[in-house]
Structure 1
């Protein structure tokens, strides 16, 4: 199944909804139906309760007329379930089997709220989606931070920049990937915030495009290679300049020493002949 990434444009709203939802109370009837299921562990109960709380909160926004993301909440909830179960090191359930079990065990809850098309997201898509989700969580952290918290703002901004830069390198121009369209949407959202927010450091660059990341990196590699070649050439030139002959000054010294020694030899020989 081709995955739908379009819900990410509303993701920061859903992340905010989740914060409020988890502080809400859930009817004991609905929470009890999250426990004592076959092959169930305590963490499965916790995920089930959280899942129901978020669904209940989103449904309440429909009732009050506050909800306007009417095409993206179901794909988001399917991702959310895949994400939560994917955090477990050894999960006995996939998103599809988990949802089927809790729906069968508590049909009244899902009839009174809404149902989703729960399915398993591929490992590759889920990896990209998790990274996008982390980007939007950082974005949500930034927009809710006190602008006076400079350290917090800078820390979140740096995290966001590094994660985005790592992801955008998967988006070679001409290669169509849903992750890349979702990243461009995030980039536009973030850069708009950066220009308007007092929290973000105006001295740091906006989120770059693929070419802005790759081309400087390629230039850096080329410069590094050129410098290395230059150093090697300079070393070769230094070695080639090591003198193999004596300098004129040294030659003059040797000539003087040689002349002195020669003259001494002649005088000594003459002296010996004269003596005998």
Structure 2
């Protein structure tokens, strides 16, 4: 029976090439090992061997779920988030401002994007694999239009370079979603609200890698250059975040999941030729 555990584990690891998505920024091996550790499929002792086999097989099935199927899971999560967060209605001033800024970017770089505002004082923005980008009112209050566009460009970069897809796959494999995959023969299934909530927590409490954040920062700068926006705005956006570090609770989520904004501001300054 123990041998079967290692066979199932080997099969899961053999598929790691399938989870390396566009941009090559995520490690399939890391994703699978993380999921197996979370489920208890990697460990010692023989008393729970059958459970370990089952967990490894579940991950084996989850890792084969296609990007399109994971996008459908992301859509489910966003629908859940839009129900549970305070979503700005179309006639709200925040929603109108965001629509004005993003109306020409819904098909940016071959993507299908949608933008909405959460009426929260949190200073945050995030993106998911389906192309949904959510901006929080607290961030909009802090940023001028050009700075906000810089942050939006950064979030688009996470979608374009498939960082969001990699994060979704890792979270899905480590969540109850993998059980739904197992029950539906390797196809992403409809999740309950409790499962979607747990999935979102796994996605947004985990960090993108330093290289992924750098790649998205560079994409954001290129986005600003492409559309002839103020290229210094992304630097100033990071300066604002750095100045509020440790002063406002609403920043906790963004700062805990992103590299030091002061260093990122310096890097943007250097890239546009503004070295001190």
TM-score where L is the length of structure 1: 0.27
Bigger Rg over Cα: 1
Q: As a proportion of its length, which structure holds more helix?
A: 1
TM-score where L is the length of structure 2: 0.27
